[in-house]
Structure 1
């Protein structure tokens, strides 16, 4: 389980940083916080859609689903939060 965290961070570093900045924005909606907690719980959970003991394929659900979920949340941000988070990510 812990071996996959560095790989996930490498794959989604930019989006994760933008999500972090969006979460810290004063106008961040409650659903963003709930969605982010659910993503973290999924990553840390020992229960996966495809069990991790299956070589290579077991980690693919995390590598695909987590970035998709983060991108999905980011696309639904209010414009002022999205703009502020994107500018902080770039700078």
Structure 2
């Protein structure tokens, strides 16, 4: 359970900001918007409401792992732009 919370801490902290920056970046990868749209639909699919246990597994494990892997697959120019934009805003 500690690993799941640590994964969510990484995703909620850095990865979501990075992906939000990448969505608004003018040279974002072509796969980013469709990939995030599919992941969003996967996170709120009707199966989550029918079988709540499987829905919890989705939201706690699969969604953050896919978000983290998408953030790792971003090209270098997007990552550099993120580093320059958020260089002075890092939290302690």
Fold shared, TM-score > 0.5 on shorter chain: yes
Tell me whether 1:33 sits opposite 2:33 in the alignment.
yes
Count, aligned residues: 78
CA distance 1:46–1:78, shift in 2 (3 Å) = same
Give SS of 1:36's match: helix
1:1-91 aligned at under 5 Å gives the runs 11=9, 12-14=11-13, 15-48=15-48, 51-52=51-52, 54=53, 58-89=55-86, 91=89
Structure 1: 5+ residue runs without aligned partners?
1-9
**TM-score (norm. length: structure 2):** 0.68
TM-score of the pair, normalised by structure 1: 0.69
Q: Which structure would you say has the larger Rg?
A: 2
Show structure 1 runs of 4+ deviating over 2 A: 85-91
